[in-house]
Structure 1
């Protein structure tokens, strides 16, 4: 496959990502506005809980000048180095033909590995990173909505007790997840303008309180962070796990470049998001220095008393939009995983006739909903959930840095010492945050670890099971040329029409074809052995979509190729087959599929429990008929048993 870098290997192939970085100023400004609602929802709601968790709770810091200015300094440099420099300047350049995200990066790097070990490590890292993103998709809606609704307790703790706040949060989450089936195309148009209002509100509140104590701006000096560590020692290091909450959502910047392009995402950050977040965080610091008791919920305490309820409503809407972005991101991630062969086929519904990216996956939506509600009821407060939140994203960021090192060293051909220093610097930051989060494992951090481990087992088992099944079928497979030669010795009856035999290996004879001839003793005038392959690129040009080869005696071999961001539509693309002739009626095509019953055996391959799991996943996968958009009334399935 073509590389995403130039032949020289030194720089990205093009500054254009996803076709969105247009020279038209109005277009990219509109995209920048839309990016506010989708890309920055997660990081934009961090002010709800990040500063509070440093100064409130069982492990809170004392509210004094050293600690407040030290935390503000850490927040400033975390946002600057991790988000502004690492992601906005460098990681966003690591696109796979215009698409971003950890699976897109893995797909770009894995095929180019010269050794099996490098390819294996790239795939393992990519799958682990993707697994933790699913865990993030469960935690983000829970902590965002719960932390917003908790603002009601400032009005009256007697009325809005913990159980009541939980019920409100659960009702909001139920409504959010139930709306997913209707799509977000129309609602999404409101996300950008509303989040712009949210960020301007954060900035305004921050400026108001900074003017009360402008000296807090001195925390930009990194010496305050140094003094903070000196004064607090181990406690100061551990608070990094809470400071990390300000950069959660960084992976969304990378995953969404295919939807918006690099320029709009960067413009949104530097023009709106970055200054708004900094102003609000410094404003919260000013408030704490003047009123230490405000640490219970500093963001809501920034607002005037009369504005508390409107502020809770606005924050809740912002939290819902942040959750929406993570949920739809999980749908896109699942589509990539299915196409790349790391996830069983699932039912995918299109919620917009105009935008192909608008999809809904019921199984994923159901799982995220159950998990988010269970987290709200189980952890009961956003403070408890904060412990589970950080560790998932820190591991994902570590994985992204390691994969980025492979890219700059082996693809962009940076000198080894430069690549090591560059990756080592950012890996040191990532590992510092990860180390600070390790103690959270026993206070909720175990949840994303368990979820990610389970998802990794599912994805790796599906991948290994498909490879093992292909090996078993290949061992008993006859080449198509030899099969045709054999049956022509005693030709079966020929009937008019076209038969398409779907095959994972178009070079061999599909089991369905062999069974059809053996038991029915009949062949169509034209038989097409069709394979569907997924490229390591997100999209395949139309001119590269179909390859055909005539075998002889009415047999043809065809291969359809799709990118990992595309859904296959076999009937639509079969119209390009020259052997069908112009004006051929696709309603006269018969599609033959093999339906294998998989049996776990003690033979070498996978452990028995993994073979049983793969067999279970295969039985419950979406039927190939629906996945390939085949007309059910024209499909014939022929079953067989296969021992794994």
Structure 2
């Protein structure tokens, strides 16, 4: 269970129901399109009996190997103080390797960048596939494409516009709605399996092996589409901090996995029945929207409504995940500070990032109008997810070897089959780059460029500042020779290097000709762990009678509140004259001898200029802040 102080002590049943509503929303809506798209790759010239069973067998065994064995049985045990997800794994691996392995940072940044590609595609694909089900309702078969697209974009705009109000009020409905959804999936599947029990032959893995052996390159394209059945598996570890390992495992083994299996078997049974009817008429079987055809005509409209609700919940989970991932990436220094708003007084995890929200909506709307159908968009889906899975497996190997102290050979032996399967799936999806798979790669590339630029830019700023700075011990010695005017109060100077005099302190002395009775040089650090206990965050190192060096350490999931945590030390901020916080506001300029390529400096200047106000990020009251400007040449 998570060490988060904000996780309520709820019963196992409540947590499991919550996990069903949040964790499994994405993978739970895959039956809308996964079987249809996989069958479409092999059945362009007509669908055969062997293709139905072969594709179905691949889908069922992907669920068994990738989700059940890899994620539920293995990766859910690999948590960072209760937290999961690619950045939590990166932080744990960095801690296990002493922070010196650049490959760990590269893997984490790559996985995070790929997630944003997934976050743009998931809402567009899932909601569009549900709305397309309107065409299966009797009387609405001729619904035009502009109407379908309009309804889809309307639902998505409403969803993103609602984010600013927070989801705490409606989140309680997610679990019950998804519970109904999975029960409906199982019931529809059982109904069709009873009509064609021969479909159970797909449970034999030889059907999948024979299909791949007999279809060559086409089999690889099918495998890329089959991967759609396991998209959303990353949520099993990403949301561990909210629900805990046991509720997530119970939700999968007790409900979600059986329901998905029965539904896919039901779609296969329906396809077998349609094949028998087509052969009786001497016709070739064409692909169809197998999911919605599972239901009788009278239940089609309620099924479309339920499917739309499920896809909205799945989209909400991805949006919330994007907010959480961005918050973690900012805390770990991979992205510039962004404006973060709390949307719940009870749960710190309920946050809203306006910039991320509207960028996602823009990307989702572009995808809907560019691809215009869920079938066209499906090709773009798998690459981001398979790439993230490859990253997760590599990090898992490092953690098993360095953190769990497994023997290198045994760790490699266990991880190798999972990695081989992930790479195989990734290769199968790469074949579909020209069909739309380039979209998540472009998105990930753009995010990756921002991360690299921000990391290198911050490192260059630190290097330039250290060259221009004055050592603290030399500065204190100079003050002892020529003491400045002292005024009452405490001054807190935010800095990254406690051995150097902050630029804001030098500017204050230069312009105001005075120093406070007590000057605190404060460095705020983010540790590679999700939580730090409040009474363990602050450490003080008095330099002399007037200067104190302080460190505030937070976990990457903690809420930063500098004034409150400084006040935990008795007497530190209680002196006469009050406390002022001095923040350096640096302007970036081009240097004669640049530390960065000019194009990278331009990007960094833009990111630096548009980063959120540090005083708001550190939760410092604006009326206690003094900003002093300086220039740094890169």
More moved, 466-475 vs 280-289: 466-475
**Which of 519, 525, 541 is residue 517 of structure 2 equivalent to?**
525
The answer to whether the 8 Å contact 2:189/2:264 transfers is yes
Say whether residues 1:75 and 2:59 are aligned partners.
yes
**RMSD over aligned Cα atoms:** 2.0
Q: Deviations over 1:481-534 (max 9, x none)?
A: 321221121111111111111111223211010111122211111111111111
The aligned residue for residue 42 of structure 1 is 26
Number of residue pairs matched? Answer: 624
Instruction: Say whether 1:616 aligns with 2:606.
Output: yes
The alpha-carbon distance between structure 1 residues 353 and 63, as it changes in their structure 2 partners (threshold 3 A), is: same
Asked whether the 8 Å contact 1:133–1:393 carries over to 2, the reply is yes
Distance 1:68 1:374, change over 3 A: same
Q: Which moved more, 1:224-233 or 1:175-184?
A: 224-233
Q: Secondary structure at the match of 2:587?
A: strand
TM-score by length of 1: 0.94
* Offset, 1:350: 0.4
Out of 588, 602, 620, the position equivalent to 1:630 is 620
Pairing partner for 2:534 from 542, 546, 551: 542
CA deviation after TM superposition for structure 1 residue 413, in Å? 2.2
Residue pair 2:42, 2:218 contacting (<8 A) in 1 also: no
The 5 Å alignment of 1:348-497 reads: 348-497=340-489
CA contact (8 A) 2:573 2:579 kept: no
Aligned equivalents of 1:115 and 1:95: distance in 2? 18
Structure 1 residues 300 and 435: CA distance shift in structure 2, 3 A: same
Q: 1:415 to 1:235 in 2, by over 3 A?
A: same
**Which residue in the other structure is 2:68 paired with?**
84
Q: In 1, are the aligned partners of 2:615 and 2:625 still within 8 Å (CA)?
A: yes
Q: Which residue of 2 aligns with 1:203?
A: 186
Task: Describe the SS at the equivalent of 2:295.
Answer: coil
SS at match of 2:429: helix
Q: Which residue of 1 aligns with 2:302?
A: 310
Does the Cα contact within 8 Å between 2:41 and 2:222 map onto a contact in 1? no
Contact 2:199 2:269 in 1 (8 A): yes
1:77-105 C-alpha deviation (Å, 9 max, x unpaired)? 10000000000111111111111111111
More divergent stretch after superposition (351-360 vs 225-234): 225-234
Distance 1:61 1:434, change over 3 A: farther
Please, which of 503, 516, 521 is the counterpart of residue 511 of structure 1?
503
1:604 CA displacement: 5.2
In 1: Cα distance, 2:302 partner to 2:483 partner? 80
The alignment partner of 2:543 has SS state of: strand
SS at match of 1:533: strand
Unaligned runs of 5+ in 1: 1-15
Gaps of 5+ in 2: 276-284
Deviations 1:573-615 (A, max 9, x none): 1212334366x68x92111111111113363532111122111
Please state if 1:184 is matched with 2:167: yes
Please state whether the residue corresponding to 1:642 is helix, strand or coil.
strand
Q: 1:567 — aligned with what?
A: 559
Q: How does 1:135-174 map to 2 (within 5 A)?
A: 135-155=117-137, 156=139, 159-174=142-157
